[in-house]
Structures are given as C-alpha cells and as structure tokens.
Amino acid sequence: MLVSLKTLKNYVDISNLDAKEIANGLTFAGIEVEEVTSLASGTGLRIGHIDECVPHPDSDHLHVLKVNFGDEVKQIVCGAPNARSGLNVIVATIGAKLPGGEIKPTTIRGVESNGMCCSLLELGVDAKYLNENQTKGIEELPSDAPIGERDVLGYLGLDDSVLNLKILANRPDLLSLYNVAREIGAIFNRKVNIPTYEVKDNFKTDLVVGSKTSRCSQFSGREIRGIVTKESPKYIKESLMAMGVRSINNIVDIGNYVMLLTGQPLHMYDLDKLSKHELIAKDDLSVEFVALDEKTYKIIPGDIVITSNNHAMCLGGVMGSLECAVDANTKNIYIEAASFDGASVRHTSSRLGLASESSSRFVKGTNHFQAEEVINFASYLIKENCDAKEFSNIVTYQSEQKIDSVLSCSTKRINNRLGTEFNEKDIKDVLSRLSFKIKEINEDEFEVTVPTFRLDVTCEADISEEVIRLLGFSNVKSVLPTLEVKVGGLSLRQSRLRKIREMLLATGLDECLTYSLLSKDNATKFNLLNDEEHYELLNPLTDEREVFRTHILYSLLESASYNVNRQNRDLALFETSNMMSKVSRSEHLAAVLVGNELNRELMNKTPYDFYHMKGVVEDIFTLLGIESSRYRFERYESNKEELHPGKSARIIFQNITIGVFGELHPNAKKELGFNKTNVVALEMDLEPILESKVSISKMTPISKFPTVSRDLAFIIKKEVSAADILKVIKKNGLGILKEAKIFDVYEGENIFKDSKSVAITMTFGKEGTLVDKEINDVLVRIKYELSHAFDVEFRM
C-alpha cells in the first residue's frame, strides 16, 4: 500500500513529523514500512520562459536557447526535440542536484550552457505516469506558469513523500488511507479528521438490486445521471500518482481514489447499456464473459457474477464486462459498492489470472458496513468534478445484520499475557485512540466494542496485542520462565544419531546437506534399500524436483560428482536424513568415498575400496556397542548396474538387511562422470540400530599366563572366503585358541590362477602354562579339518 503524505495530512495532523519518524512509528506498531520515497526530487529548479531558440551552429539536433527567468536570462544548450521559443520550461540551474547528478556550467561543441531544461523523467518521476511526449522531450508547462518560480516541485504537485507499507494478512483495513490516518493518529496521539459527505437524492431509482448467493452478502448502489467525462482535477491526479495509480479520466479516477481512501472497491456500470433495470449477484452461471480488457473468460459455478436479465455484467470484485463499460460517451451510470466473499474472489481471480487492487482487497477482507458512506463520498466527488446533477436514492441489499463485536477484557489478564504492569488508564487510553469503545464493568473488567473495520480483532489476546504494539515491547520485563526441573536432553535415539555423526566427522568424513526432492527418474537410482512408493508432488516447480526421496545416496553421489568436476578429486562424504515413503519413516545414513584415502602421504596413495566402507560400517556398530556377532555381511545381488557385483555387500542385522554398500559398477561410474576414479557408496537405515538394546559388558579378567603365537600359510581356492576359513579354524581351537586373524592374502605369480595364498596368525593361551604338545595337537586338528573342508595345500 502506497501512502501519499500530502494526501494523508488532510486527514491526520502530522505537523512536525517527517516521513522517517512516521515510518518508524508505524514499524514499531507492527506496520512495516518497506520504503520511503519521494515522488520527484531536485534542488535548484526554476521555471523559465524560452525567449529564443536557434539551431546549434555545430549540431543537427541541438538548440541554443535564451531562457528568461524574469530577473535574468541564461543561455542553455538543449537537445530536446520539442524545445521552441515561447515555451515555459523547468530549468535545473547551475548547482542543481537531480537524481542523475549535479548540474555544472559546460561548453557543448563550443557553445556555453548554463543549466538544463528538464523532463519529469529527469526529476525522478516514474515513466508509467508519463505520456509519450513527456518521456521524449522536456516538460511543457502551461502558458500561465509562474516565471521565475523556485518551488517547482510544489507548483507541479510533486513535493510528496510516499510510504510503502507492507500490509500483513491480519490488517486488510490498512489498504485504506483513512484507516492509515486513524492508525497514525493513534500511534502519535494526533487528531484525526475523516470527513463524511452526503449527496441527497433527487429522484427514486427503479433499479432492483439483490443477491442470490451467500458469497455476496451486501450490495449497494445508486444511479447518477448526466455525467461528463473529462480530465480529473489536479489534486486527484497527484494523489493517484503518489499512490501508484495512473490517471485515466474523472470517472475512473474517482472510483480508484475512493477505493484508495476508504478501502471499498467500487464498480460503475453504464446504465444505458444494461438490458434490464436490475443487478443481481449470482454464483451458478456457466457462460463466456467478455471483460473490460476485451478478452473472453469462462465463468464457472462458484464465480460471483453480477447479472442483469440473467446476463453477466460484472465478475464480482474482479472485472466488469465490456458490454456495460463506462466510456467517454457515457451519460448515466450506476455505482456499486458491494461485499464479496474473499475466498470466492481468490479462486476466481487466481483461476483466470486476473488480480487487481479491487480483487486483492476483497480477498483480504473489506468492511461490510460502510457502503452507503462510500457511495456518498463518490457521489460528492462526481457532483463536484463530473457535472452530474441527478442522484437517485441509495438502494442496499444486506443479508447480514450489523452486530457489534464486544469483547470482555481484564487489565490483569492483559498484563499477565504480556508480562507487563500497565495500569487500567493506559490500556483504555490506547484502545480509545484506536477507535475501540470501552464500557466499564468493574475495577478490573471492561468491555470493548471493536470498530467494524478491524476484522482481525476477535478475542482478548488480540486486544493485548493492540495494547503492546502501541505501548511498546520495551515495557515487557524479561524474565526466564521458572519451570519444573526434569530430565531433558536428547533421547537415546537422538544422542546415538549425534554420536554417529560426530564419529564420522572425527574419522574425516565431510557432512553434507542435499535436497529432498528429486526427479522421478533419479528417485529410483541407487535406491538400494527399498522400493517403497514415493510421495509425488501435485504442483512441482520443475521436473527436476517432483518426488520426495526415500534414499539419500543418489543425491550424495551427485554432490560427489559436482566436486569431482571441480577438481576436488579425493572425497569422503556423508549425510544423515529422515526419509519418508508412503509406508514408512526412518533415519538414513549415506556415505560416499571417492579417489584416494584422504590425508595420507602424497607419495603413498591408498585408493578407497570396499574395505574402507566396511570399516565405516563396523565403526558404527562398535560405537553403539553392538557386538560383531549381532550383524553380518552378505554378498549383494542385484540386476541393476549400480554396484560392482563382486565388490558389494548387504549389512544384515537381526536378520534384516539394514544397509548396502560397495564399489560402484563401472557403467554407473561412467554415467555419473567419475570415469576411472574409485567410488565406494553406502546407504544404511539407522532406525534398527538407533532403537536397539545394548547390554552392559562385564569385565573379562586378563590372563596372567603368557600367550603363544603360531602362523599357518596355505594355498586355497579363490572362492573360499576368509569368513569360511576362520569359521573352520575357530571351531577346532579346543579351548586354547584365543584369536585367529588373516594377515596376508596373495594372488598372482607362482600360484594357480584359481587359487590364492592365505596366511593366518593364531594366538593360543589358557589359565595355566601351555606346553608345545597342546598347541601342536590343535594345529594338527585344524590342518586336518581345513583339508577336509577345502582343497588346501599347506606351505612351510
């Protein structure tokens, strides 16, 4: 809402307040002022008369002018095509400051120039208010313009400051300059003077008004005959310009002016174009409608239509029809001030893409009980400016009764809500300033009658807001709440998640954040854990972001690829995030390792592989105290070319797959732009382990007896896994084998292609002294069982 201070000051005393102070006052009363601007600006301006205009001797378009100010004559070089002798013009004299800079004496192609003839554009006036001639050349002032005048902006009516108010959804009443004046009066405790007008009727209308829909609760109007369309008076034009509306003609301008001042949109019909003397609001029409903009719109049931003879004359609150539009030849009009349901107007205007100052007022809410006052105001202006003499009676249809909204309040309750100690008098004073009517009940209690324009005030909490926004939040005592002491903090689940994230950071992985919305295509890529149905948006912005993801990994691979494309080649990334599908909700972890292990000596690079990620997974289990016996890895099988079939695994916990990890399939690497770099990826559902119970492990005594180590090396078929070998060994330890670990695996030269060499170190111990024979017996047994189970060849 743009508010012209020059217009405003007619209705509220703002003497001694500058625009900045007013803006500040409004802001701290909860009405944000986005900007304070001047309609035009410029110092050192003067009105002059062009005595002489001759072509510049050295130019085909410049002129050399002699401009007369009454007390002096200046030579000015001017390039405007409309410069001519006899014209009255605005001159920026030497030293003048304009939006574009300061004016200095110059010499243009050898001719001295002492000033500049200006267009309004050069004074900072927005081009939308200017016609073609005004933007192309210098401003042509009327012949009676006061020569020598220095208050040029004042003469032009451009000496106005404009406040740009950001109107929040609860204060549609401030889309009226009158109400802004009331608000400022209340804030600064200044006198407010909103005039009322009455134009008496001099004939009775036979035009019938009514409504067949609850979407139009009120409809008022009157006939006005014998109007003459012409230019608007200067003050209306200036006021409209300051408030962002272009002047058209007196009738249209009065409609807009009245709306800006009162907040009530008006509509005018050319009376002689109505097929029947009736205007009835309906909402059940399905017709084509040619609007004022000469375009055809489809009206559907639910749209509010003002009909005459069941014929659509106006799309209520949105736009009138071309058929009964007021034009330059209109003589008799019908003027309408109605109340339309905001939701319906919102649906209609957004469906048809027709939004206007009027429709937005209805959408946000208008005062339903000021129509006749507004019509009288408009009538007065029409009488004054459109030569109209015949005014009918005002006819009103109103389906709702005016019931005052009365709220019971108490000083104590208001102070309790606010944490303040305002006395009763201060509270009542503020409310009266804001046009609330107060009725005393007892010492503490009182009743407040809400003014009809304040649609937002419906309960005592709203009253407390009125009090605090005018008396100021600085009166609120800052006190920490005294609350019951209780065990707060993170839940087990939340703290486990926090620990996992902190551990991953400590082990050198970077924590990432990616978008939850994916394209349909990408939502299925690398979705290794589930294929539960995604949520899909009805109204996506782009097809890149139209489904709600159920996995993180694809997004994280995209981040990795983004980095690789920027020469960040070695990466360790992770993200945890809550996932939601149509059937479940759970916390996921994804990790991606790319290139070489970070932070190792540059000469000794270790490429990331399957086992690095296996380590990450094992670390998480260890961190949460989950023993290795409670989970296992199994080979991951898939028909998708996402993970390397030989270098990938499932994580099984409590017999369900909670994660999948592995090196990327070469084809997937190519598609994601990684090419030959190593990439290892993980997606894991953390939910089962965040909730899992962990028992407290009692201390195991440390043996006083020394242990003995023995190594065993053998050649075995490649496909036999380490886990299988260790299983056989551990099963045959006869109670003295404490540990068995693989410390070397070799494939290559001197060994058959289908085989590998495996070296194992075993630790033996017991509560007592071990003798060689005991160990040898176990070794013989292990060797026997190994050769029994697999095809092995022992090495020395």
504 lies in the binding site for another protein (CB under 8 A): yes
138 lies in the binding site for another protein (CB under 8 A): no
52-to-60, 68, 134, 136 alpha-carbon distances in Å: 17, 9, 21, 21
Helix (H) or strand (E) holding 433: helix 424-433
- Site size toward another protein (CB under 8 A) is 86
Binding characters for another protein, 141-180, by CB under 8 A (x = yes): ---------------------------xxxxx--------
Specify the DSSP class assigned to residue 540: -
Q: How near is the Cβ of 478 to another protein at its closest, in Å?
A: 4
**208 vs 461 by CB, closer to another protein:** 461
Candidate ranges 126-134, 504-512, 677-685, 743-751; the one touching another protein (CB under 8 A): 504-512
64-to-49, 67, 74, 90, 227 alpha-carbon distances in Å: 14, 10, 10, 16, 47
**581 vs 787 by CB, closer to another protein:** 581
Given 127, 228, 441, 459, the residue binding another protein (CB under 8 A): 459
**275 vs 491 by CB, closer to another protein:** 491
Q: How near is the Cβ of 467 to another protein at its closest, in Å?
A: 9
Candidate ranges 104-112, 499-507, 743-751, 778-786; the one touching another protein (CB under 8 A): 499-507
Given 196, 599, 655, 697, the residue binding another protein (CB under 8 A): 599
Q: How near is the Cβ of 49 to another protein at its closest, in Å?
A: 43
Classify 435 as helix, strand or coil. Answer: coil
Candidate ranges 151-159, 185-193, 530-538, 625-633; the one touching another protein (CB under 8 A): 530-538
Q: How near is the Cβ of 312 to another protein at its closest, in Å?
A: 23
**179 vs 308 by CB, closer to another protein:** 179
Given 161, 464, 550, 596, the residue binding another protein (CB under 8 A): 464
**89 vs 352 by CB, closer to another protein:** 352
- List the interface residues with another protein, window 364-423 (CB under 8 A): 364-365, 416-420
Classify 743 as helix, strand or coil. Answer: strand
507 lies in the binding site for another protein (CB under 8 A): yes
788 lies in the binding site for another protein (CB under 8 A): no
Candidate ranges 147-155, 569-577, 627-635, 697-705; the one touching another protein (CB under 8 A): 569-577
C-alpha 613/C-alpha 663 separation (Å) is: 9
Helix pair angle (250-262, 371-385), 10° resolution:
150
Candidate ranges 36-44, 122-130, 270-278, 598-606; the one touching another protein (CB under 8 A): 598-606
Q: How near is the Cβ of 573 to another protein at its closest, in Å?
A: 7
CB 93 within 8 A of CB 125: no
**289 vs 362 by CB, closer to another protein:** 362
Indicate the pairing of strand 656-664 with strand 643-653.
antiparallel
Candidate ranges 99-107, 251-259, 458-466, 770-778; the one touching another protein (CB under 8 A): 458-466
Tokens found for residue 272: 């002689």
677 lies in the binding site for another protein (CB under 8 A): no
Candidate ranges 384-392, 577-585, 617-625, 752-760; the one touching another protein (CB under 8 A): 577-585
CB 514 within 8 A of CB 554: no
Indicate the pairing of strand 571-580 with strand 510-511.
parallel
**572 vs 712 by CB, closer to another protein:** 572
Q: What are phi and psi of 311, to 5 degrees?
A: -115, 130
CB 510 within 8 A of CB 574: yes
Q: How near is the Cβ of 517 to another protein at its closest, in Å?
A: 7
Tokens 């129509």 map to which residue? 371
Given 135, 189, 423, 568, the residue binding another protein (CB under 8 A): 568
List all residues 6 or more positions away from 467 whose beta carbon is below 8 Å from its beta carbon.
414, 418, 422, 427, 430, 431
**378 vs 450 by CB, closer to another protein:** 450
342 lies in the binding site for another protein (CB under 8 A): yes
Residues in the chain: 796
- List the interface residues with another protein, window 691-750 (CB under 8 A): none
- List the interface residues with another protein, window 600-629 (CB under 8 A): 601
535 lies in the binding site for another protein (CB under 8 A): yes
CB 686 within 8 A of CB 760: no
Given 195, 481, 701, 706, the residue binding another protein (CB under 8 A): 481
CB 580 within 8 A of CB 548: yes
Q: What are phi and psi of 758, to 5 degrees?
A: -125, 135
Candidate ranges 51-59, 65-73, 317-325, 498-506; the one touching another protein (CB under 8 A): 498-506
353 lies in the binding site for another protein (CB under 8 A): no
Exposed e or buried b per residue across 490-513, where buried means at least 16 C-beta atoms within 10 angstroms of its C-beta: eeeeeebbeebbebbeeeebeebe
Q: How near is the Cβ of 488 to another protein at its closest, in Å?
A: 5
573 lies in the binding site for another protein (CB under 8 A): yes
Neighbours of 540 (CB within 10 A): 14
Given 514, 524, 586, 757, the residue binding another protein (CB under 8 A): 514
The set of long-range contacts for 302-305, using a CB threshold of 8 Å and a minimum separation of 24, is 302/344, 302/347, 302/348, 303/344, 303/347, 303/348, 304/213, 304/215, 304/216, 304/340, 304/341, 304/344, 304/345, 304/348, 305/281
**62 vs 589 by CB, closer to another protein:** 589
Tokens found for residue 418: 């606010």
**85 vs 584 by CB, closer to another protein:** 584
> Which residues are 42's β-sheet partners?
none
CB 340 within 8 A of CB 367: no
> Which residues are 209's β-sheet partners?
279
The set of long-range contacts for 102-109, using a CB threshold of 8 Å and a minimum separation of 24, is 103/44, 108/56, 108/62, 108/77, 109/56, 109/58, 109/59, 109/62, 109/77
59 lies in the binding site for another protein (CB under 8 A): no
List all residues 6 or more positions away from 184 whose beta carbon is below 8 Å from its beta carbon.
8, 12, 14, 22, 25, 26, 190
**168 vs 745 by CB, closer to another protein:** 168
28 lies in the binding site for another protein (CB under 8 A): yes
Given 328, 403, 538, 702, the residue binding another protein (CB under 8 A): 538
**196 vs 542 by CB, closer to another protein:** 542
Given 106, 356, 491, 622, the residue binding another protein (CB under 8 A): 491
Q: How near is the Cβ of 523 to another protein at its closest, in Å?
A: 14
Candidate ranges 178-186, 301-309, 556-564, 712-720; the one touching another protein (CB under 8 A): 556-564
